[in-house]
Structure formats: structure tokens, C-alpha cells
Structure 1
């Protein structure tokens, strides 16, 4: 598969309409902040069980860390290098950074109030409390001191900073204490102490009659916790004998973590990616979080040595880095979490059944997490052990640790199958995990490729080649989500199992394009990016306009994670101007302004944030009463349409098309409990407190989209 010529792939399929000025678009970065605000609102929503609210707050902070590491760092680079890569709204990097800081500061204040004023008191009522060091009783303090001396003291490394000691390197997202000391002559000294991440942030405080703390912190019975950094603070004097500890201030640094690899110059892509991952710890600093009570001179000293400006300093109330609250969610307190449910498995896809026979009889659609991920794993295992299976080919983007999918592929190789796997090494923040899987697969004799130079392979496809009585049959799985058994239980995704001959032939040619020398960029049924996907979608939108004008009806429903691409947004604006109704379900960033008179009167946009992460991409077109439905791996963003290998595939089976319309799109269009409505000014109206919840309805009615004989 060839990389598109520079500039050509970025050109819109249709000539830019100059009537769509900057005011027609919402800024991408500010739209992302709005999404994270919706996540925060789940933490404040008392209808969720308590530990689910804690989980949402943890996700909010983790999202914010990644946003600074990738998006804010990119804006800082543009500003420092004088690059003006202006988005459709025409905001400069400086304007965006100013607006983002204002919004983020307000959000963090709300998150802090949510934690301190709401979650902490509710946790205490549930018997889970955070103990202040001053309230630790003497016997408990003695236990904890012995634990500190035995387990923690040996791994701590205080680093001095003075004329003889350079300012130490502060690693990305690490917690640190800025320790202020006085010697016997009352001369002030500064030391940095890194809080090790080899322990949980939340350490259990023992009852007086309990034994000393064990090596690891959290336990099944843990109910009272002290922050790990506070346990260290209680024992700082032992680290600086001969000095008086004046005070200490917690701080945390966020660095640019966006890996840039010049693939044309890299002799070994795997080695280059590994080096890039290692360099994340040394990226330029984009944010300093520090205790708000830290004196200005300490803030300035840290900012100067970290090479940042005052607007990159965020004074906060500790504790910092609250993504660690996920530790609380892992407590075995099921009464404080969502009620578990059993994912559905159709009878003819259950363990022990002949899954090849099932797929030969009908196309199968799986709707995770309401449908179990296990049939797909079983399908791969059957393929691995079936003497009639000749080859398995698959793309892997994010598979997670302890992957049953990878284990099935390894099992297939052990059974002497031809196994080819494209492992995308550039899957952000999963690079190390993927490098490990790639090495293991290669060591077992699997043919591993690392993707197309200059492009990130994001397509989700698996091909199984089987010899049967009538000849070779190709079985294909196509999906909207990753081959990750863990996330399949919390991400809402769709997958198709089929032995359609045309899709099978397309799959073979697609893998040839990925692994060999092939310039093919068009297929019978599959639609690929970066070559054809944008044009296909624009043509489908335009066809709805023509159908509407011809009086045979036009309507568009799209579901995705993000809508950023200017060409697609303008096409939807044109459709709205011609009277075509458009309903968009966009979980995250949306740069389109709906309900603007004369521009987008006919467009409605909602964002559903609930128990499951809405991750499926669905594109549905009325098509004069004969609907066309496509599923795929791509969001409508320039990166997906221009710089990634993506797949879009049709649902040709009317039964499956109807199922997607009735059980995926329609419930979400009717959702009033978890659906936020986007307003023309870029704000979102919150949902009602007692409306229809599409995800809950799907849990209660899981399996309805399968044929009766499968239930």
C-alpha cells in the first residue's frame, strides 16, 4: 500500500465553499474540553453508584493528562516554532492556549470541589476515608514508621540542588516533593524527592490491633487510607539528618509525549519506536502542577529550571494526579458499583458450536458489550485448531495485556497455520505493549509487519482462509473496535462475521496491500482511507441531497467519536441548507455548529456519555427508502481520512441493517438520560434526570437483534 503524495490526500474532495467562514466552526481543542466536562458531570451525578462516580473523576484527570501531553504540547510547539497551522475556526495557537487555560482552570476547580465537597463525605459515609497525618494515632504512627523504614526508605533518593548539584531531571507525570531545608547556620537548601510509583497512592492505615502494613497497600478490607506522599512527608527528617525540614511542597510535571518518527530515515521501525517511547520522559515540559500554598519563589525557581512560562504553572489544592482514584474503584465493594450483567451469547455462537457453519448460514453481527466478546475468541481458537484452515491474517492496534486474541494466533502458528499479523507500533501509549507482542509473535514464527510507512494502520480486520468441499472459503471479521477482550466489556462497538465472497476477496487484496507491494486503493465492497473514504462519504451525503430534491426522501444519521474534518462538515451544512434532516451522535469533539439559521437548521447533534464508552462508527443513509448502512474504524477527522489506514464496510444483509437502525441508532436518538445536546454556541445542554437511557435499555434487552433461533 503506497503512502499518498504530500498535499494530495489533504485536499478536500469538493472545492471549498468560501461562504463557510471561521464562525461556522467550533474549535477542536475547546470542543474536547467540553467533552471532558461531560465526563466530569458524571462524577457529580448522584444517580451513579458512588465508586462509579469516583471512576469518572479518575477518567477526567487521566483524559486531562493525555490532552496536555499531546494536544497542548502540539500547540506549544506551533507557538515556539512560529508555525501557523490554523484550524477552520482560524484561532491561532496563542489564542487557543489562552482560551484553554481559562477553561481548564475552571474545570479543575469544579473537579476539586466535586472530590472534596461531595465524593469524600460520601465515601466516609460508606466507610472509606482519607486520614490526615495529624489524626494518625501514636500506635498506628509507630506501625507506619516501621513500614516506611523497612520498605520505602531504601528506595528513596533525595537530590540536592545547589551550585555543586545541577537541577535534577523531573520525569513525566511523576509526583515530587520540593523539600526546603535549613542547615545549622540557617542557610536554606533545596532538595527534590521523587515519590516512587512502585507503591499504590492510597496506603491503608492499620487499626491499633492490626499487624504492620504489608508490602502492597490496597487490600480487600482496606477502608482507611493515607496518601502515599503524606506517609513520606511524615518521615522526611530521617532522609536529611543534620538538617531541619522547613516545609515540603508537592509538584508534578507534564511533558510533551507525542512521538515523532521519521520512518523514511529509520532503519528499524521497532527500535525507533522503542527509542521514541523512552524519549517521552525527556520531552519538553508543558505543565507544572504545584501545591497552591507553595511560595512564589519556589514556583518561579521550578518554572525557570523547567523552562516554562508562568501561564504553564497550575497552582492546585493537593492531592495532585487524581487519576490514581481508580485504585478505589478496584476495591471489592460491589454494592458501590454498577450492577453487573451477563453479556449475551447467541446459541449458535456458544462454546463448542461449529462457528464456521453458523457464519456460512448467515452474516453475524456482534454488539459489544451487550454481546460477549468470547464468540470472536472462540472463532479464532477454532480456526487455530481446524485442520481445514490454511491461513489467518489480522491487524492488531490495541490488544491489551494477557490477550486471548494473540494467544489464539500463537496457537494457530503452533498448529502450523500460516499466520500474518500487522502490529501497529504507533498506537499511542500502547507502543511498549505492542512491541512486546510483536517480539513474541515473531519469536514463534508468525510473520509480523509493522504497518505502512507514513501511515498508522487503524483498520480492524481478520481473515481466515479455509479449504472446504467446494473450494477455498474466506471468513472475515470486520469491526469498529480493537481486538481487546478487556475493553470489549466497557466499549460499545460493532463487529461483523461474514463469508461474503466479495468481502473475502477484498480482504485478501487488502492484506496484500498492507504486507507487500501493491498500489491497489479500490475494492469491490470495502472502502479504505486514505484513498477513497472521504470521497465515498461525500458522495453518499450528496446523493441524499439529490434524493431529497427529487422528492423521494433524504435523511442522514451518523454515529462517531469525533467530527472534525472540514470537507465533511461543509457537506453536511450543504445538505441541511437543501432541507435534508441530519442527526449526528458524536461522543467527543464536534466542530460543526448545529441549529444555526440558514446554515444547519436541519442538523441535530447529541453526545452520549454513560456507563459504556460509545466507540462504534455508523453511517446510515435513507437512500430513497432502501437504507444504506456502513460501519467502520474511522472517525471523520483529517488524521483518520488522510493519515491512517482505515476501513469502512457495508451491511448488505437487510436484517442486520434493520437491527443497527432499531437497536443502535434509534435508541440513542431517543436517549434523554445520557444524551447531551450541542447548542449553536458550542455549549451542551445537560440531559434530563429521568429520561430514557439507551444503554440501560440495551442491557435489559440484549440479544433482541439476533435471530430467534439464536436466542
Structure 2
């Protein structure tokens, strides 16, 4: 089922947004703000990935965790090129590109992006070659090229090649009868030059490195070699009777951003499946080659792939270090973070979950609080509880063997009404979500695919239960993260479990928005994008400025993944110019310039990266001494505020508000390990002085077991 988004506004440009805010009495008031007040979002994203790389470079980190961060950097950069660079390139090609908010022209953005990306990729390769590889050797783990292997290891790999690798290889030659082959995105390949000894003619051939095999092959215990090296050593078997003159590894990145026509009349699911097939053939946006590649082979690849020189990235081999994640998974616990078991104290195991929620709101903090014994338990208990009449839930991303989906299927098969809003366009999880949608439908669930033109990104669950006292109650979960049992052990997120009637009414009304044709802006404890969330936040930011001018307590604290939206940034600038202290805890992109005289002198921006992916969104407004705290799914980006259904819920419990505020203050403390952003967009890692030890906030929370004991 695809719902027409008539009761939500379509994606709007900045002018339309300004008009809408003006109509609501929230005009942008940017007349006196400088034109260069925004940092470039693409470079800011690259600086985020630079912080990831700095963790890989950090000798104080456990060694295999450094290896994991090295792999994460590579994977992150792949996605950046597939989506951000590809999207900008596509817009330029279609003539739709305009100046960015930072004032850079599209060509300038691409040139700067290329420069920074080149620098970071070389730094990444140097980290592997000069730092991590030698450090691994000291711990008995070696990454070796073919010529560095012992004779016995080479012999073992020859047998492996014959038995497991050779059968899946397909060499493709290029000549008058065979055109240059299609090179799929993110595939690792060997460019091979062979010569016919009879005719003396040289030819180009491509050999794809099979992605179904391990990226690094174990030659002997804890000694590994890149898969392409094993293949290269046996090219003579692929080109029998030919002379192999040279071979070089290369890798292509293609545009993999989805393009779905908002006016399609066919089903969204079918349109998405068709676009997924087309995505494999997107234009090339990056060519990675080993620095040893010959000029002739590089020129051939450049010509055949139709790319410019600044799209070529020459780095020391091996390529595709995202595959180092397998090395990070080695069974060497002494080289990793200490084991951690999430707390199960949020809801006692012998306590009925519905009774616990009736007694009090429950605020959970994953992964420090167990996802399995709280959120997952809520859905699983609802599926089997005979008093439960209906379950409604949104699904954006979930695990491959999802216990949440299994519980929803069990509930439907038990005769309960189950409504699931599945977001098919969750980037890179589209195929999995299509499969889950069909499985849920087959079990009798009512599946809604959301809105054309809007992603359903909010994290909501609603359970309708006839309690023993005869009262029909609505039990809700509103979270900042996905219903994904595996990532809940790695992603930091909050979730509110409540049966407060006001929240129940709001969530019921929102599900009616998602599944039907209703219009409701009168939420009591929710802010909902794209209609009320941005205006609601801007209104509260400006209320803090007014309070400060009137001499009342005023302060703003924000925790988010990204801060890009110009309207919100301008409102924060105005609050700062009024004297309001503003603290921003951001994981990734930040387009706001802190500490600029006359503009943002009272604004501080910090970033925390570490063992867990900081993923929660928290918004705290001093509100004259009675802090108003919101948590939810929404980041401060155009896509979240204009093109997604997002929710924030107001936290009503005073103890919960205090804990969230204390956590925000702890993260912003000068004594906490973090990165600090300056006005020029540079991030400086806070380092300890002589005799000083900085607090790692994630380690602190792990050791606390219960995050509520923030003060130790």
C-alpha cells in the first residue's frame, strides 16, 4: 500500500520554508547575519571520517579496535562517494546544481572534496602500512603480500586456488570481438596485460576478484594475504599459453543513490525493485588504483570508464581495506575492548513489563541497557499476551533474523490486529525491507509502505491492551534508534516506554496519519516532521533568547548526528547573539561555525567517537529554570525536517530530565575526551595535559552498568 502524502507538505526549498515560518510568526530574521556563516557540509562529513581515522591512529586504543576503525573509515568513504559525491555529480550533469549554503559553487565543492579525500586516503593507507601492520606483527598477526609468504604457505594457497578460487573466476579479454566489460560498483579487479607469443599482440583483460570469498586469505594461523595476490600469482592458469606482462589491482565506485519518481503511479515496492536493478549501472564517481599501476593501463581504464583525472585515487596497496573488519574479528580478546554485558535493571526480569510501564515511565539507554529485555521484550510479550488487542509499529531498519518481525508475525497469526509501516527506501537496506514486507503481509499483517516523497523514519510502537482493571490502555515506545537487535548492541540510543494517555493519543493520531487520510497538528507531547518539528524547535530556541533578554535562566543543549539545517542554525546564531549559552554535541556533520565574534561566541560544539556509535538525538531547553527535554529520531538536516516523518517526544519525568541533562553536561565538560570544532571547520582532539586524565564517557557508562549513575 502506498499512501498519497496529501496531508503532509511536499519537500520544500528554503524560500518556501521561510514563507511557512513567517506565516507561523517564526520568520528567519537573517538580514544582518554574514553570508559566510555556514561550513561546507561535504567537507564537514569528510572531517567526521577523519575523526574515525584518528581513532585508528591512536596507540592508546586496543589494537584490533584500531583495525576496525580503519575498516570503518574505508566503508564510510565508499558510502560518501556512492551517495554524496555521486548526487552532486548527477545534479551538475543535469544542470540542477546551485551554490551550496556555504557559498561554494558545485565545481568548487567537488574540487575541495577531491583534495581532502585524496589526503585522507593516503593517510589511511599510511596508517595501515606504517602503523597498524607493524603493530599487528608484534602481536603475531601478519598481513603479507604473495612474495613474503613461506614456500609451504604458497603451496597451500595453490591448492586452495585450484579447489575454491579458480572455479569462480571469469577472465574477460578486450579485443575487436569483446568490448570493455561492465565494472560493477565496489568490485575489486585485476587489470591484466597478456601477449600472444605467436602473434606478438598484447591485449587487456579484466579479472574480477570474487566478493563471495574472504578479502584476506589465511595462509597459516594468523598470517593472511590479500585474495587478489593469490589470483595474480596464478594468472598463468587463467591465460594458458599466453604471456602475462603485467597486472594491477583497481576498484570502481559508482553512483548508488536511489532515484524514485515522486509522481509514479505504479506501486512503490515495484518501482523500488526496478530502481535497485538500475543502481548497479550508475556512473563511475571514483577509480582506485595501486600506485604501482603503469601509465598505459591507467590511461586505458580512464578512457573506458569515462572519468576525469581528479576522480582517480592512487594509493599504496592493498585496496579495499574495509575487508580488514575480518582481521578485527579475530579471536584475540586481549586486543579488543573488554567484554560488556548490558544492564537488565531497567525492568526487573520478574516484573511484568506492562505493570512496570503502568507504574512509571521507563527511559532506556542502549547499549548500556539491554534492548532484548526492554524494547524487544515489550513486542514479544505483546505478541503472546491475550489481553493485547492490537500492535502498530514502524520499521526502518531491522536485523536479518529479526525477533521483532518474528513477534509481529506471531501476533498476527494469533489473531491480533497488527499494522506495520515499513520504510522501503532505507538506504542500502531496501532489499531486506522488501523481503520483510512480503513476509509480514503473508502472515496477515497490515503492511503500509509509507508515503511517496517522504521516508517514514520515526521509531514508534503502539500496543493496545485491555488491562485486568477493565481499562483500555495504549503502551508506547518512542525511540531514537531502529528496532534492530544487533545494532542495539553497538549504537547508542534512547527509548521511552510509557502508557501516558497524552502520548498514547498522539501516537495513535500519528499512526492514523501514516495509514490513512487525517490531518492533525495538535499533538500534546510530540513534535512531528515535516509539519511541526522545525517550527517547534525554532520557537523554543527563540524563547530561550527572549528569556535571556528578560533576565530569566536560559540555555540550549543539543545532541544530534548532524546539524545542517540553515533555519535552525540561524536561530541558534540569534540565540547566541542574545547571550544564550548553546552546547551542541554532534557526531558527524556540523555546518554551524562556533565561536565567531558577534555571531556565535556562546556556542560550543563537541564530538564524541568511540566504542559505540553515538546515535541518539536529545534537545534540552532551559525554559526559565524548568528544563524541557525532547528525544526522538530527528536530526537537524533538510531531509529529516522536510522529507521524512520524524518524531520527538517530550520527556515528562523530572528524574529522566535531570539524567539526560547531566549526561549532556558531562559530554560537554572540558575533562571529557572529545573533539572540539573551531570557527574554520577544523576539529581538534582534546588531549590530556601533564598529570591529567580525560574521561571516556562511553567507558564511564559501561563501568557504571546503569547509566543513571552518571556521577559515579
Task: Answer yes or no: same fold by TM over 0.5.
Answer: yes
Distance in 2 between the 1:54 and 1:314 partners?
A: 22
CA drift at 1:704: 5.1
CA drift at 1:400: 1.9
Distance in 2 between the 1:60 and 1:671 partners?
A: 27
CA drift at 1:147: 1.8
Determine the structure 2 residue equivalent to 1:700. 703
Determine the structure 1 residue equivalent to 2:243. 244
Determine the structure 1 residue equivalent to 2:12. 7
The answer as to whether partners of 1:617 and 1:633 remain within 8 angstroms in 2 is: yes
1:175 to 184, 188, 194: 188
Distance in 1 between the 2:670 and 2:217 partners?
A: 41
SS of structure 1 residue aligned to 2:130:
helix
SS of structure 2 residue aligned to 1:477:
strand
The answer as to whether partners of 2:587 and 2:607 remain within 8 angstroms in 1 is: yes
Determine the structure 1 residue equivalent to 2:348. 350
Which whole-Å deviations, capped at 9, do the CAs of 1:369-394 have from their partners, x for residues lacking one?
Answer: 11110121111111111111000000
Distance in 2 between the 1:476 and 1:509 partners?
A: 13
Deviates more, 1:406-415 or 1:170-179: 406-415
Determine the structure 2 residue equivalent to 1:333. 332
The answer as to whether partners of 2:677 and 2:684 remain within 8 angstroms in 1 is: yes
The answer as to whether partners of 1:672 and 1:693 remain within 8 angstroms in 2 is: no
Determine the structure 1 residue equivalent to 2:24. none
The answer as to whether partners of 2:594 and 2:677 remain within 8 angstroms in 1 is: yes
Distance in 1 between the 2:674 and 2:608 partners?
A: 4
Determine the structure 2 residue equivalent to 1:686. 685
The answer as to whether partners of 2:268 and 2:452 remain within 8 angstroms in 1 is: no
CA drift at 1:8: 7.0
Which whole-Å deviations, capped at 9, do the CAs of 1:466-489 have from their partners, x for residues lacking one?
Answer: 012242100000001111111111
Distance in 2 between the 1:559 and 1:571 partners?
A: 16
CA drift at 1:351: 3.4
SS of structure 1 residue aligned to 2:355:
helix
Distance in 2 between the 1:272 and 1:86 partners?
A: 31
CA drift at 1:15: 3.3
Determine the structure 2 residue equivalent to 1:135. 148
Distance in 2 between the 1:492 and 1:585 partners?
A: 13
Distance in 1 between the 2:490 and 2:391 partners?
A: 27
SS of structure 1 residue aligned to 2:42:
helix
1:163 to 154, 171, 176: 176
Q: Does residue 1:441 correspond to 2:440, yes or no?
A: yes
Distance in 1 between the 2:566 and 2:413 partners?
A: 48
1:71 to 76, 81, 84: 84
1:366 to 344, 353, 364: 364
Distance in 2 between the 1:626 and 1:548 partners?
A: 14
CA drift at 1:632: 1.3
Distance in 1 between the 2:607 and 2:28 partners?
A: 30
Determine the structure 2 residue equivalent to 1:520. 520
Distance in 2 between the 1:562 and 1:202 partners?
A: 34
Within 5 Å, which residues of 2 pair with 1:412-561? 412-468=411-467, 469-561=469-561
SS of structure 2 residue aligned to 1:544:
helix
Determine the structure 2 residue equivalent to 1:219. none
Determine the structure 2 residue equivalent to 1:324. 323
Across the aligned residues of Structure 1 and Structure 2, the Cα RMSD in angstroms comes to 1.5
The answer as to whether partners of 1:3 and 1:453 remain within 8 angstroms in 2 is: no
Distance in 1 between the 2:349 and 2:327 partners?
A: 35
CA drift at 1:251: 0.4
CA drift at 1:19: 2.6
Distance in 2 between the 1:481 and 1:260 partners?
A: 25
Distance in 1 between the 2:670 and 2:376 partners?
A: 32
Unpaired segments ≥5 residues, structure 2: 22-26
Distance in 2 between the 1:675 and 1:266 partners?
A: 49
Distance in 2 between the 1:139 and 1:126 partners?
A: 22
Distance in 1 between the 2:44 and 2:388 partners?
A: 47
Query: How many residues are treated as equivalent by the alignment?
Result: 690
CA drift at 1:86: 2.3
SS of structure 2 residue aligned to 1:282:
coil
Q: Does residue 1:223 correspond to 2:228, yes or no?
A: no
CA drift at 1:278: 2.1
Q: Does residue 1:651 correspond to 2:648, yes or no?
A: no
Q: Does residue 1:204 correspond to 2:209, yes or no?
A: no
Distance in 1 between the 2:28 and 2:552 partners?
A: 27
SS of structure 1 residue aligned to 2:280:
helix
Determine the structure 2 residue equivalent to 1:593. 593
Distance in 2 between the 1:474 and 1:524 partners?
A: 15
Distance in 1 between the 2:453 and 2:10 partners?
A: 11
The answer as to whether partners of 2:595 and 2:679 remain within 8 angstroms in 1 is: yes
SS of structure 1 residue aligned to 2:251:
strand
The answer as to whether partners of 2:193 and 2:202 remain within 8 angstroms in 1 is: yes
Determine the structure 2 residue equivalent to 1:210. none
Determine the structure 1 residue equivalent to 2:203. 189
Distance in 1 between the 2:43 and 2:393 partners?
A: 36
Distance in 1 between the 2:160 and 2:695 partners?
A: 51
Distance in 2 between the 1:520 and 1:700 partners?
A: 44
The answer as to whether partners of 2:28 and 2:571 remain within 8 angstroms in 1 is: no
The answer as to whether partners of 2:88 and 2:97 remain within 8 angstroms in 1 is: no
Unpaired segments ≥5 residues, structure 1: 207-221
Distance in 1 between the 2:13 and 2:185 partners?
A: 37
Distance in 2 between the 1:523 and 1:462 partners?
A: 17
Determine the structure 2 residue equivalent to 1:22. 35
Distance in 2 between the 1:677 and 1:443 partners?
A: 51
The answer as to whether partners of 2:365 and 2:707 remain within 8 angstroms in 1 is: no
1:345–1:610 CA distance, 2 compared to 1 (3 A): same
1:704–1:182 CA distance, 2 compared to 1 (3 A): closer
Determine the structure 2 residue equivalent to 1:629. 629
Distance in 2 between the 1:612 and 1:300 partners?
A: 43
SS of structure 2 residue aligned to 1:448:
strand
1:188–1:410 CA distance, 2 compared to 1 (3 A): same
1:672–1:186 CA distance, 2 compared to 1 (3 A): farther
CA drift at 1:514: 0.2
Determine the structure 2 residue equivalent to 1:44. 57
Distance in 1 between the 2:12 and 2:540 partners?
A: 24
Distance in 1 between the 2:364 and 2:189 partners?
A: 46
Distance in 2 between the 1:266 and 1:70 partners?
A: 26
Distance in 2 between the 1:574 and 1:430 partners?
A: 39
Determine the structure 2 residue equivalent to 1:58. 71
CA drift at 1:116: 0.5
Which whole-Å deviations, capped at 9, do the CAs of 1:208-237 have from their partners, x for residues lacking one?
Answer: xxxxxxxxxxxxxx3011111101111100
SS of structure 2 residue aligned to 1:571:
helix
Distance in 2 between the 1:179 and 1:591 partners?
A: 45
Distance in 1 between the 2:57 and 2:348 partners?
A: 40
Deviates more, 1:330-339 or 1:521-530: 521-530
Within 5 Å, which residues of 2 pair with 1:267-278? 267-278=266-277
The answer as to whether partners of 1:172 and 1:280 remain within 8 angstroms in 2 is: no
CA drift at 1:83: 2.2
CA drift at 1:64: 0.3
